[in-house]
Chain A
Amino acid sequence: MFGTLLRFRLRRDRTQLTVWAVVHFLVAYMVVAAVNTTYGTPAERAATVKVLMVTPAILLFRGTPQGTSAGDFMALLGLTFMAVLVAFQSTFLVVRHTRAEEATGQTETVAATAAGRWAPSFAVIALGVIANVIAMIAVAIGCLAGGLPAGGSWLFGAGLGMVGLTFVGVAFLLAQLFPASRSANGWSATLVLVAYVVRGLGDATGTPHLDTLTLTPTAWIWASPIGWAQRTLPWSGYSRGWPLLLGVASFLILTAVALLIQDRRDVGAGILAERRGRPTASAALAGAVGLALRLQRGVLTGWVLAVVAGALLLGSLAGVMVDQLQTAGSGVTNALEEIGGGGSMLQAFANIGAIFSGLLASAICVQGAMRLRQEEAAGGLDAVLSTATARTRWMLSFVVVAAVGAVVSLVLGGVVAGAVAGSAGGGFATWFWAIVWETPAVLVFLGVVALVFAVLPQATVGVGWAVFGLGAILGLFGPLFGLPQWARDLAPFAHTPAVALPHPNFTGGWVMAVIAVALIGASVYLFRLRDTRPGA
């Protein structure tokens, strides 16, 4: 029974598992290749580490300096980002096979057969384990292919697999708690980002040892599964495997708790009780805009808060940097300005911070556009179009709500980051405008996904995440990976006027604004020409 269910799930996921394996392999291989080309000699790496370890704002997004070998650089620059990818793969996988199926009734169909209630859950957990073993192997092979030593490569892969495994447990537990798969997915994703930021705090507040070019992170790092993977210190002289046990233990505990909850609740129900709703609609729930706002308000609030929280963090780190620059010796300051892309390190940081904010805001747009397809698939679109609501109005309502949400988040983020950084001497205007000028790039994401919805509706969700992932890799990590310029130029963020740096070029911003509007216009026009296609 268990075997049948597991084979069935593996078969359903074979494409996704293959794509993820290829992604893990390629990312690992590319980061190693980038390290080898950009920081080819130990001397170059030593110079870079010296700078990075006194730049908490960079460590927040990267990792722990642990030495100067190529492997040490891989761990410093690639581990945390790749851990986020592996974690996302796991949470989406688990929710897709548990709560999402429960919400659509498939679970009930299976539970009514001889399979019962336990075998399907064990099959999902086994699938999660298999997926992470595959991820571990793909990553390790990617590192080996890049020419890194074998022991560290396997430890690195195992660390990422362990992070994934932990999040299998996290998502499985959350899937028990929330009655809607969207909530389970949203909270899982939030926890992945929290894990990323928490370990970042550990690195950013750590103690640098300039003689050994290593850094001892603070206790924060132990509060995050990604931190556990970091603390295996792969490729360093101090590598050890025991932190992996923390992840395995968490996975077992989380899964056991989830199974206990599952044993006590009805199929289809959550643990968090369903609240009663209003017996009549409020005046706000009228028209397509009212509906779009109502359906998106939870997600929008979450993302806006995420952008603002991110801005708060960035702003305060800018303040920390100002302090450090004042106390650091002139040698360090010079080195900082050198890698600052012509401007000061502080300006470079504002630039990266703006891209980071833009990336969060573009998630609002990507999710907003994907919502179009989700509404269509679930039948909500047909229900609305059967009333006196025109297609253009329906589509624009969802698009405008997402666009306004993104712009509001950027403005609020700009104000917060500017105010916090500004009070520490980092400059309000620099931060504010750097973040607000991400708007055109962010809207391009909305246009692209909306266009996919209009032309190839069934592909919307898949392409949406792919576009977002690509934007993240190219925008935030493109320079790091040493990608060629044409590849970096694919990301809308590459054309954002770098307000924080000297001599910003505003043409790119205006061009992107025009492109975004054109894409949205074209998608509305094309949507009007096709049949609606409810159902998955």
Chain B
Amino acid sequence: MTDNSAPVIETRGLVKHFGSVHALDGLDLTVHPGEVHGYLGPNGAGKSTTIRVLLGLARASGGEARVFGRDPWREASVLHRRISTIPGDVALWPNLSGGETIDLLVRLRGGDTTSVAYTTARADLIDEFQFDPSKKARSYSKGNRQKVALIAAFAHPAELYIFDEPTSGLDPLMESVFTRQVGRAAEAGGTVLLSSHILSEVEKLCTRISIVRAGCVVESGTLTELRHLTRTSFSFERDGLTDARLRALPGVHDLAEASGRVSFTVDSDQVAGILPELGALGVQGLQVAPPSLEELFLRHYGDVVAPVEA
């Protein structure tokens, strides 16, 4: 149906205004087939607006958006047969039971709720998520409302999964069930766009990441690629080394000392160069840490942490 290499999602210069507010301001996002793509950004960065445009709920003010090569606004209902989605704020009909809602949503996506594949998948998911499907939606907690959306999203397979902060309200146990389900969906060939600000979740699941800030994607790539753009941190015991010898180390930033340990950072592509120098110093208790996603993230919203520039 689609060319294997053609992007599943592609936006170019996507703009969305709400009055004078620019929710999206020239957003470029590309998601390739088979990717689990992490979409990161703080509240208000434009993550949910992007998803609303991709689902045809909001109309782009400018730029271009394509899902499976089609216009998500004009061809929304055709596209949605291939898409499974979890909204950021799961809204349910108060007087429908959870089980009824799941069946209804799957039917609305064009799924056959009498098929064995569906009933088995549904039963397994209900079991895994420890969910009671016969309670009225009105009486569900936030986590249970989230489960309704999750079960409906996974019970009927899709080519593209769009998740907007899907685990908010879930306990860690249920989060791991979610992680497992995303893994299965990806193994089955599905593409996933996972909007989140839970960094550990993204780090665990995602093959590629885009970081959005103020309606623009400011960084996009694999986690490894992104790490190259940052610094690796080193620390070891001071153990009588003089200041002069430490200052002589090449390419070192943020040199500091606390409780007898020296720490500094090095540009990630300079790490190989400094190792022999450290060997020559004979340092003890050396720890080398690649940048966490959190640091990557904070670097782009870095007003609160120490500036990276020397």
Chain A, interface size category, equals 35 or more
Partner pick for B85 among A275, A386, A529, CB 8 A cutoff: A386
Is B262 an interface residue when CB atoms closer than 8 A count as contact? Answer: no
21 A–B contacts, CB within 8 A, in A order: A274-B138, A277-B134, A278-B97, A278-B100, A281-B101, A285-B96, A286-B107, A288-B108, A291-B104, A291-B108, A379-B89, A383-B105, A385-B57, A385-B76, A387-B109, A388-B110, A391-B76, A532-B52, A532-B57, A534-B89, A534-B91
Is B253 an interface residue when CB atoms closer than 8 A count as contact? Answer: no
Q: Which residue of A lies closest to B75 (CB)?
A: A390
Q: In the complex, are the beta carbons of A380 and B91 less than 8 A apart?
A: yes
Is A473 an interface residue when CB atoms closer than 8 A count as contact? Answer: no
Q: How far apart sit A379 and B164, CA to CA, in the bound complex (Å)?
A: 14
In A229-277, the 8 Å CB interface with B consists of: 274-277
Shortest CB distance A106–B (Å): 16
Q: In the complex, are the beta carbons of A295 and B55 less than 8 A apart?
A: no
Q: In the complex, are the beta carbons of A383 and B134 less than 8 A apart?
A: no
Shortest CB distance A397–B (Å): 11
Q: In the complex, are the beta carbons of B57 and A276 less than 8 A apart?
A: no
Q: How far apart sit A378 and B90, CA to CA, in the bound complex (Å)?
A: 10
Q: In the complex, are the beta carbons of B136 and A388 less than 8 A apart?
A: no
Q: In the complex, are the beta carbons of B97 and A279 less than 8 A apart?
A: yes
Q: How far apart sit A287 and B107, CA to CA, in the bound complex (Å)?
A: 7
Q: Which residue of B lies closest to A382 (CB)?
A: B57
Q: In the complex, are the beta carbons of A275 and B136 less than 8 A apart?
A: yes
Q: Which residue of A lies closest to B82 (CB)?
A: A388
Interface residues of chain B, those whose CB is within 8 Å of chain A, are 52, 55-59, 76-78, 80-81, 83, 85, 87, 89-105, 107-110, 113, 133-136, 138-139
Q: How far apart sit A384 and B107, CA to CA, in the bound complex (Å)?
A: 11
Q: In the complex, are the beta carbons of A388 and B80 less than 8 A apart?
A: yes
Q: In the complex, are the beta carbons of A274 and B87 less than 8 A apart?
A: no
The answer to whether A531 and B58 touch (CB under 8 A), given A276-B97, A281-B103, is yes
Q: In the complex, are the beta carbons of B138 and A280 less than 8 A apart?
A: no
Is A179 an interface residue when CB atoms closer than 8 A count as contact? Answer: yes
Q: In the complex, are the beta carbons of B108 and A285 less than 8 A apart?
A: no
Is A180 an interface residue when CB atoms closer than 8 A count as contact? Answer: yes
Q: In the complex, are the beta carbons of B107 and A276 less than 8 A apart?
A: no
Q: Could you say which residues of chain A place their CB within 8 Å of the CB of B92?
A: 383
Q: In the complex, are the beta carbons of A279 and B91 less than 8 A apart?
A: no
Q: How far apart sit A280 and B102, CA to CA, in the bound complex (Å)?
A: 8
Q: Which residue of B lies closest to A535 (CB)?
A: B89
Given contacts A281-B101, A382-B87, A383-B105, 14 further A-B contacts (CB under 8 A): A103-B94, A179-B138, A180-B95, A278-B99, A278-B134, A280-B103, A281-B100, A287-B108, A385-B55, A386-B80, A386-B87, A387-B105, A388-B108, A391-B76
Q: How far apart sit A471 and B59, CA to CA, in the bound complex (Å)?
A: 36
Q: In the complex, are the beta carbons of B109 and A383 less than 8 A apart?
A: no
Shortest CB distance A64–B (Å): 42
Q: Which residue of B lies closest to A280 (CB)?
A: B99
Q: In the complex, are the beta carbons of B58 and A388 less than 8 A apart?
A: no
Q: Which residue of A lies closest to B106 (CB)?
A: A387
In A294-319, the 8 Å CB interface with B consists of: 294-295
Q: In the complex, are the beta carbons of B107 and A531 less than 8 A apart?
A: no
Shortest CB distance B60–A (Å): 10
Instruction: Pick the 3 closest A-B CB pairs, nearest first.
Output: A379-B91, A277-B97, A281-B103
Report how many A-B pairs have Cβ atoms within 8 Å: 120
Is A389 an interface residue when CB atoms closer than 8 A count as contact? Answer: yes
Q: How far apart sit A388 and B81, CA to CA, in the bound complex (Å)?
A: 5
Q: Could you say which residues of chain B place their CB within 8 Å of the CB of A378?
A: 91
Q: Could you say which residues of chain B place their CB within 8 Å of the CB of A385?
A: 55-57, 76
Partner pick for B93 among A295, A382, A387, CB 8 A cutoff: A295
> Which of B59, B102, B108 has the most chain A CB atoms inside 10 A of its CB?
B108
Partner pick for A180 among B87, B100, B138, CB 8 A cutoff: B138
Q: How far apart sit A170 and B104, CA to CA, in the bound complex (Å)?
A: 37
Q: Could you say which residues of chain A place their CB within 8 Å of the CB of B135?
A: 274, 276-277
Q: In the complex, are the beta carbons of B103 and A285 less than 8 A apart?
A: yes
Q: Could you say which residues of chain A place their CB within 8 Å of the CB of B55?
A: 385-386
Partner pick for B107 among A281, A380, A530, CB 8 A cutoff: A281
Shortest CB distance A510–B (Å): 35
Shortest CB distance A531–B (Å): 4
Shortest CB distance A242–B (Å): 44
In A373-405, the 8 Å CB interface with B consists of: 378-380, 382-391, 393
Q: Which residue of B lies closest to A180 (CB)?
A: B94
Q: Could you say which residues of chain A place their CB within 8 Å of the CB of B103?
A: 280-281, 285
Q: In the complex, are the beta carbons of B91 and A383 less than 8 A apart?
A: yes
Q: In the complex, are the beta carbons of A387 and B80 less than 8 A apart?
A: yes
Q: Could you say which residues of chain A place their CB within 8 Å of the CB of B102?
A: 281
Q: Could you say which residues of chain B place their CB within 8 Å of the CB of A274?
A: 135-136, 138-139
Q: How far apart sit A383 and B87, CA to CA, in the bound complex (Å)?
A: 8
Partner pick for A388 among B78, B93, B134, CB 8 A cutoff: B78
> Which of B91, B101, B110 has the most chain A CB atoms inside 10 A of its CB?
B91
The answer to whether A532 and B136 touch (CB under 8 A), given A287-B108, A382-B91, is no
Q: Which residue of A lies closest to B18 (CB)?
A: A531
Q: In the complex, are the beta carbons of A279 and B94 less than 8 A apart?
A: no
Shortest CB distance A112–B (Å): 16
Q: Which residue of A lies closest to B105 (CB)?
A: A387
Q: In the complex, are the beta carbons of B57 and A277 less than 8 A apart?
A: no
Q: Which residue of A lies closest to B56 (CB)?
A: A385
Shortest CB distance A342–B (Å): 50
Q: Could you say which residues of chain A place their CB within 8 Å of the CB of B83?
A: 386
Q: Could you say which residues of chain B place their CB within 8 Å of the CB of A295?
A: 93, 95
Q: How far apart sit A493 and B91, CA to CA, in the bound complex (Å)?
A: 38
Q: Could you say which residues of chain A place their CB within 8 Å of the CB of B93?
A: 291, 295, 380
Q: How far apart sit A60 and B77, CA to CA, in the bound complex (Å)?
A: 52
Q: Which residue of A lies closest to B53 (CB)?
A: A531
Shortest CB distance B57–A (Å): 5
Q: Could you say which residues of chain B place their CB within 8 Å of the CB of A294?
A: 96
Q: How far apart sit A386 and B135, CA to CA, in the bound complex (Å)?
A: 24
Q: How far apart sit A287 and B90, CA to CA, in the bound complex (Å)?
A: 19
Q: Could you say which residues of chain B place their CB within 8 Å of the CB of A276?
A: 97, 134-136
Q: In the complex, are the beta carbons of B104 and A531 less than 8 A apart?
A: no
Q: In the complex, are the beta carbons of B58 and A280 less than 8 A apart?
A: no
Q: Could you say which residues of chain A place their CB within 8 Å of the CB of B94?
A: 103, 180
Q: Could you say which residues of chain A place their CB within 8 Å of the CB of B98?
A: 277
Shortest CB distance A293–B (Å): 12
In A497-536, the 8 Å CB interface with B consists of: 529-532, 534
Shortest CB distance A258–B (Å): 21
Shortest CB distance A296–B (Å): 11
Q: How far apart sit A391 and B57, CA to CA, in the bound complex (Å)?
A: 10
Q: How far apart sit A254 and B76, CA to CA, in the bound complex (Å)?
A: 52
Q: How far apart sit A280 and B99, CA to CA, in the bound complex (Å)?
A: 5
Shortest CB distance A288–B (Å): 7
Q: How far apart sit A69 and B175, CA to CA, in the bound complex (Å)?
A: 76
Q: Which residue of A lies closest to B78 (CB)?
A: A388
In A110-126, the 8 Å CB interface with B consists of: none
Q: In the complex, are the beta carbons of A277 and B91 less than 8 A apart?
A: no
Q: How far apart sit A295 and B104, CA to CA, in the bound complex (Å)?
A: 13
Q: How far apart sit A287 and B105, CA to CA, in the bound complex (Å)?
A: 9
Shortest CB distance B232–A (Å): 42
Q: How far apart sit A530 and B96, CA to CA, in the bound complex (Å)?
A: 28
